[in-house]
Structure 1
Amino acid sequence: MPDPSIRTIRDCRIAGAGGDWDAVRVPRSVGLDVLAILCSRSGAVLEDPLAAALSWFIPPSAAGDWDVPGTRILGEGAHLVIPPPRRTRGPGPHWRSCPGEDAWVTDPAALRAALEDAARPRGMEPTS
């Protein structure tokens, strides 16, 4: 997915959003809960320790009407530093969930639901 010709330090690459994917960035504290909620339904998840954030990849323009508090949509014109495919520890950007051949993208509806669940105050779970 990322352009292999643009390299940064430690074999990371700079990749632009808006082509093959957009990204949803959330604070690390929320992102860890979201990752636990999504489990195997999550695609690749990038952790950026400098920004204290986790980012999920979604289809381009899938967040057109996104209004989830605490999230930042990275679309056309935004860039991410992408580590090598199996880097799971820092320093620097690394994968919380490694990308696979076709597992970069997370379903935006599932991600949104997990974000809303993670943001819900404890003890405020929906009743049936």
Structure 2
Amino acid sequence: MLNTREPLPTSTSSTSQAVRVTWDTIRVSRGLGLAAVAILGPRCGAVIDDPRSDVLDWFVAPGSAASWSLTDTRALPSGRNTVIPPLRLTHGPGRHWIVCPGEEGWLTDIRALEAALEDCLSREAGQNEDLGAEAEA
């Protein structure tokens, strides 16, 4: 997990913040993202769960997602806003933290996130291949 000089905004309600001011955002499907959270463990920075859109959002160092191209994920483009929930809101129905921002920092190292997601994607691919082989048998 990376530290950042600027903390996330504190608010009792959700706020909209511009992406790439102090972070980039990586958006991942909820199922894939939950598996990556488990792999990252304590290396995972803050993560927002958006159950209505079925996605998780990670914060990574600004500029680090410029060349992001991992399958089934996307970096939010420059100038795009993301909704930040109140700091300790940990359940829905709307956007909430699945991993709350901590004192130590809230950014996830993009290389660690990419490695965790690649591991999850390769496991998914392996399971799909196994299911295909069983169907043929």
Range of TM-score over shorter length = 0.7 to 0.9
Q: In structure 2, do the counterparts of structure 1 residues 50 and 123 end up closer, same or farther at CA, with 3 Å as the change threshold?
A: closer
Pair 19,25 (structure 1): closer, same or farther in 2 beyond 3 Å: same
RMSD over aligned Cα atoms: 1.8
**Could you list the per-position Cα deviations for residues 31-75 of structure 1 after superposition, in whole angstroms to 9, with x for gaps in the alignment?**
010000001000000001111000110011101221200111014
Greater C-alpha radius of gyration: 2
The answer to whether the 8 A contact 1:26-1:54 is kept is: yes
TM-score (norm 1): 0.86
**1:123 to 1:22, Cα distance in 2 relative to 1, 3 A:** closer
SS in structure 1 at match of 2:72:
coil
The two structures have a TM-score, normalised by structure 2, of: 0.80
1:22 aligns with 2:24: yes
2:68/2:74 contact within 8 Å kept: no
The residue aligned with 1:43 is 45
Residue ranges of structure 1 left out of the alignment (5+ in a row): none
Stretch moving more, 28-37 or 65-74: 65-74
SS in 1 for 2:26: strand
Does the aligned pair in 2 maintain the 1:24–1:58 contact within 8 Å?
A: yes
Map of 2:108 onto structure 1: 106
Q: Alpha carbons of 1:12 and 1:123: their partners in 2 closer, same or farther (altered >3 Å)?
A: closer
Query: For the Cα contact (< 8 Å) 1:60–1:75, is it kept in 2?
Result: no
Unaligned runs of 5+ in 2: 1-6, 127-137
Cα separation, 2, equivalents of 1:77 and 1:102: 27
1:103: Cα distance to partner?
2.0
1:121 paired with 2:123, answer yes
Q: What is aligned with 1:65?
A: 67
Match of 1:82 in 2: 84
Match of 2:55?
53
In 2 relative to 1, CA 90–123 (structure 1 residues): closer, same or farther, beyond 3 Å? closer
Residue 32 of structure 1: aligned partner? 34
